[in-house]
Amino acid sequence: MHSVKIGILGLGTVGGGTVNVLTRNAKEISRRAGRDIEIAWAADRDLDSPKICKTDGISLTDDAMAIINNPEIEIVVELIGGTGIARELVMKAIENGKHVVTANKALIALHGNELFAKAQEKGVTISFEAAVAGGIPIIKAMREGLAGNRIEWLAGIINGTGNFILTEMRDKGRDFAEVLTEAQALGYAEADPTFDVEGIDAAHKLTIMASIAFGIPLQFNKAYTEGISKISQEDVKNAGELGYRIKHLGIAKKTPQGIELRVHPTLIPHRRLIANVDGVMNAILVHGDAVGSTLYYGAGAGSDATASAVVADIVDVVRALTSDPENRVPHLAFKPDSLDNTPIMPMSQVVTSYYLRIATEDKLGVLADITRILSVNGISIEAIVQKEPEQQGGMVPLIMLTHEVLEKNMDAAIMQIEALSTVKDSVMRIRMESLG
């Protein structure tokens, strides 16, 4: 049987890693796939720059469209990133009847619905395991391994940069800005770290996982995102003293009212396994009605780790080349005509508990004013810690943990608390999840 020829678009970190893994493990991969896999062509915009892989025997070009239009290529591996030229190339590859493997989470989260529809029309497959959590096979686990479950919720640390920053802040007592600078120097964060620290990257990945978990169309524009740039060393220390750790979580939950889709800093009980995932590592906790809670842990980025997922997708596509398109595993786990229209809930309708840090003047009656406002808004207090001011006559840090409450009630309460003459700064609010 003839070898399957693939074309790789992009020879950067992931593209180079994919070449290395396919080359190094060629014999084992062929045994698993049942066919030899040949990297026939690779495209890169700068062919003269140093590469992390050897390209002996691979035809190279700086024209990605030449690979898309090459009739010998059966699988196109898109590792360029972004949603501009990558979308154009993937759409053209599909129109040309080629299968696509991609690690591009933004492309899938923003344009996956139209790409999957076109792929269905053309009878080809788009595989995207590497788009979420690097080397962790979370897409396959939910789409296939948990196919017998109603997935009720999932929560994940799905951005290594943010997790590295919060770990350093907790373990070494460092400030956010200092650790971010180090993360950029180490290559964990980009020069513009917005996507990582403000939750956009995590929201791309969460959008994809939620679609597969609940059988809904991709709806990135409805995801709530909140970053970690406002987390202070004081918050990290307070969380630890109260028995919690702060993690930047992506949470998707199915409720009778709709689906929660949110990314934000979260206090988690320190005894939870996911609370102990540190550094640049990723982890996703998935709760199914039959299996209960399952945890998936591993490297969320990196050359070989992400290439592992890319190559696994290539093997899956090769195995399915001769199968009837209608009998392949659906892109979003459910048959296209079975996706439902369960609404994504606005953040104001989410119910959760909260950590509040309020800086108040050291005056009689301040605590009574705050507790009255919380009570009027239906907010029950679980714990209060009043700390000593750092200097005589200074502001008093007041820490509160609440029971579960509707987010819009908390919004109203915070607005009223901040309007008090005795409260000079904004109230720091971090949501809490037990993940039990």
Cβ atoms of 321 and 74 within 8 Å: the answer is: yes
Taking Cα atoms as reference points, which of 277, 321, 315 lies closest to residue 299? 277
Instruction: Round to whole Å and give the CA distance between 76 and 65.
Output: 11
Residues counted in the chain:
436
E runs forming strands in 33-114: 37-43, 59-61, 75-78, 99-102
- Write down the catalytic residue from 51, 105, 140, 205: 205
| Separation between Cα atoms, residue 8 and residue 21, nearest integer Å | 13
344 within 8 A of 259, measured Cβ to Cβ: yes
Rounded CA separation 123/99 (Å): 9
Looking at the DSSP assignment, which residues form a beta bridge with residue 157?
283
Residue 391 gets which letter from DSSP? Answer: S
Q: What is the CA radius of gyration of the chain?
A: 24
Closest alpha carbon to 96 in 117, 122, 114, 120: 122
To the query of whether residue 205 is one of the catalytic residues in this protein, the response is yes
Active site residues: 205
